[in-house]
Amino acid sequence: MISLQNITVTQFRNYLYNSFTFNERIIGIYGNNGTGKTNLLDAIHYLCFTKSYFSKPDTQSTFQQLKGFRIEGSFTKHEESRNVICILRENNRKELQINDEVYKKFSSHIGQYPVVFVAPDDIQLITEGSEARRNFIDTILSQLFPDYLQYLIAYRKILDQRNSLLKTAAERNYLDETLMSILDDQLIASGNEIFDYRKTFMASFIPLIIKEYQHITNDDDAISIEYISPLQQKAFTEILSENKQKDLYLQRTSSGIHKDDIEIQMHQLPFKTMASQGQRKSLLFALKLAEYSYLKSKKGFAPLLLLDDVFEKLDAQRMFNLMHRVCVTENGQVFITDTHQERLSGTFKSLNIPYQLIGL
Ligand SMILES: Nc1ncnc2c1ncn2[C@@H]1O[C@H](COP(=O)(O)OP(=O)(O)OP(=O)(O)O)[C@@H](O)[C@H]1O
């Protein structure tokens, strides 16, 4: 089990200097709009992931016009206490320390304190294009398999080079066939590795999503989910050679694992267009809780769970099912924000669990 005992934020977003102590497993954080609830959760995310959940540049996170910030927190992991410090120096260089030792590579910290964040804008995972869903899968796999991240970095780089080559070929009316064949071989090598990882992962991940969705919705809506990849139909070598003329015409690589998606249907129709807002939100939680379960099974302990502003759009029964699932069935630490103090305390009381409330 991992838990965060306390956090001190200095010059971070709307916090000039604030300390918070967490003495329960379930922590409710309440406050009006703009009081810093999301910022506090994001500070926790910094300690676990070395960066903002919201892909904000570090420099935008310093308090007003001041330079640099500092976030410090004490984690307990398997009863051992560790102090993690994330500093943005005045020269905008970021530094990460664990028990006063400076990390040489940030990547060696990622995955030590796994965390799952659920924010209102995450609904894009369901409503937007396939890139958001690929990023979601990539984030989970990269945390668990360092190899996967390396293949992904390589694939993106080679794909860029291949696309530039296709552009140059159109401009000059000449294709460097030797270079194209080298790039194709490299793209196929990393693409096949990524496909194998995704295929194996999705085979166990999809049943987890469906199980979580059924639990939240009391089995009300039947959904089906499928991993879609061009590599399921044909070998990548074949795909590239068949699409060569098309790619030259379009000046980009039209098919490959960069087109993978997760197809979700409800009553045999696309979920995206069919589902109500509450159903979409239920599916978002199902995706995030499946991520939570998967990380827990691979790591052997529950990740931290950061739930930002989750109470809107779900009916009372679905909300109870969700809260029961994360606060009672699971034993990990949970941070939940809301604008209404009574709604938070009422929810925790109905679950009959010890909790701590923090007002901002
Ligand atoms: N770099 C910064 N310096 C100072 N204040 C900042 C900075 N970045 C953001 N803020 C302030 O932080 C506040 C937003 O905080 P946050 O998003 O955590 O609020 P919240 O409590 O989650 O609000 P809501 O209930 O509306 O979601 C805003 O008032 C914003 O002006």
Using most ligand atoms within 8 A of CB, pick from 18, 35, 56, 65 the residue to mutate for ligand 1: 35
Q: Is pLDDT of 123 > 80?
A: yes
Ligand 1, atom 18, residue with closest C-alpha: 36
pLDDT at 311: 82
* Whether the CB of 14 sits within 6 Å of ligand 1: yes
- Please, which pLDDT band fits residue 1 given cuts at 50, 70 and 90? confident
> Taking the model in full, what pTM does it have?
0.90
pLDDT 10s digits, 85-101:
999 999 999 999 999 99
Contact 284, 96 (CB under 8 A): no
Tokens 């910094």 locate to 46
User: In angstroms, how far is CA 343 from the centroid of its own chain?
Assistant: 27
What is the ipTM, given to two decimal places? 0.96
- pLDDT, mean of residues 243-269: 95
Q: Is pLDDT of 63 > 90?
A: yes
17, burial (CB in 10 Å: exposed 0-12, middle 13-18, buried 19+): exposed
User: In angstroms, how far is CA 37 from the centroid of its own chain?
Assistant: 19
Check whether 21 is labelled as a binding-site residue: no
Check whether 91 is labelled as a binding-site residue: no
Lowest mean pLDDT among 247-251, 281-285, 304-308: 281-285
Q: What percent of the chain has pLDDT over 90?
A: 83
Pairing of strands 261-266, 2-12: unpaired
pLDDT 10s digits, 188-230:
999 999 999 999 999 999 999 999 999 888 876 789 999 999 9
pLDDT at 92: 93
Check whether 256 is labelled as a binding-site residue: no
Contact 109, 101 (CB under 8 A): no
pLDDT at 297: 94
- Please, which pLDDT band fits residue 133 given cuts at 50, 70 and 90? very high
Using most ligand atoms within 8 A of CB, pick from 11, 13, 16, 344 the residue to mutate for ligand 1: 13
What value does the CA radius of gyration of the chain take, rounded to a whole number of Å? 23
pLDDT at 219: 74
Check whether 36 is labelled as a binding-site residue: yes
